[in-house]
Amino acid sequence: MAEGGPYTRIAVVTGAARGVGAAVARRLALRGMRVALLGRELDSLRQVAAGLPTEAHCFEVDVTDEAALQGAARSVDARLGPASVVIANAGIAAAGPFATCEASLFDRVVEVNLIGSANTARVFLPQLARTGGYFLQVASTAAFGSAPMMSAYCASKAGVESFAQALRTEVRPAGVGVGIAYLHWTGTDMIAALDDHPVLRALRSHQPAPARRVHSPEQVAGWLVRGVERRAVSVYAPPWLRLVQPLRPVLPLVVSAVARRSLSALPSEELQRTTGVLGAGGAADLRARGAVPPVPPVTPPQT
């Protein structure tokens, strides 16, 4: 990845203001790649860029705004050259019961995680086709076995997995590789907020000790970048997750059984408590969007 002409040396990372995105950008830069950092918080992106050893450009953009993302893609091409690596990492999460979660928040999680990833692929695919590049979709073990109180996040991560699998076959004739990264517990502010939720904390406590271990963003970034170097079809963070793949048909049953025990042991007021958006990244997205007015009800035609 560090050899060759300029077409092999440009990386784009979404959600690069903090956490895994920022750590991946640092790892790629240490391997000699110039980096485009995309995210909602320009000041944080600039702080990340200032610590990189190679040329980096920052673009404040909402991945759900396709027109703005198209503009960012054109700017990346003009300033750095066509991307040879694109990592669709931007994502947010919300926790709480589906019945009490605001529809706008549920929709936003799906929009950022799934539609935002599709937008990212759409606007950068022409560049990747020119460079014979590689697109890495960041998914999650939430796609393995959906956890209660995380319905929007689990649905979106299952969605991006299916999206990337379909995309892989479509773009292979153009010489573009597509990988899926499965992340487990990673030490970001999103996970710290998730552990404050009693149901989700109980679910995690029932996992085997190795599965409860929290890995640092830097360690996860190392696994992801090694996957980029290999143009891997699947990247597991941690690597032992590949052993779980054959068990996926039974994982939803296991998660459901553990969840039922955890839910039954909690008072009803705890079950009704809605945590809302998790982590600083999700909070930044909500601040950037501002207050969203409720959609007025539509009266259907009367016949």
For residue 124, the tally of other CB atoms under 10 A from its CB is 27
What is the distance between the alpha carbons of residues 282 and 160, in angstroms, rounded to a whole number?
Answer: 18
Read off the pLDDT band of 26 (50, 70, 90).
very high
Which residue stretches of the chain are H helix?
A: 19-30, 42-50, 66-79, 103-110, 116-131, 151-171, 189-194, 198-205, 209-212, 217-230, 251-264, 268-272, 279-289
Does the N-terminal peptide bond of residue 238 adopt cis geometry, omega within 30 degrees of 0? yes
Percent of the chain with pLDDT over 70: 79
Least confident of 89-93, 100-104, 227-231: 100-104
Provide the mean pLDDT of the chain.
85
CA nearest neighbour of 14 among 125, 103, 136: 136
Rounded to whole angstroms, the Cα distance separating 167 from 179 reads 10
Angle between helices 103-110 and 279-289 (to 10 degrees): 110
The per-residue pLDDT for 193 is 60
> Rounded distance, CA 195 to CA 172, Å?
40
Taking only the tens place, the pLDDT of each residue in 207-231 is 666 667 778 999 999 999 999 999 9
Task: State the Cα–Cα distance between residues 55 and 239, nearest whole angstrom.
Answer: 31
For 219, counting Cβ atoms within 10 Å of its Cβ (0-12 exposed, 13-18 middle, 19+ buried), the class is middle
Indicate whether 40 pLDDT > 50: yes
pLDDT of 297 above 80: no
Instruction: Give the global pTM.
Output: 0.87
Tokens 């944080």 label which residue?
A: 44
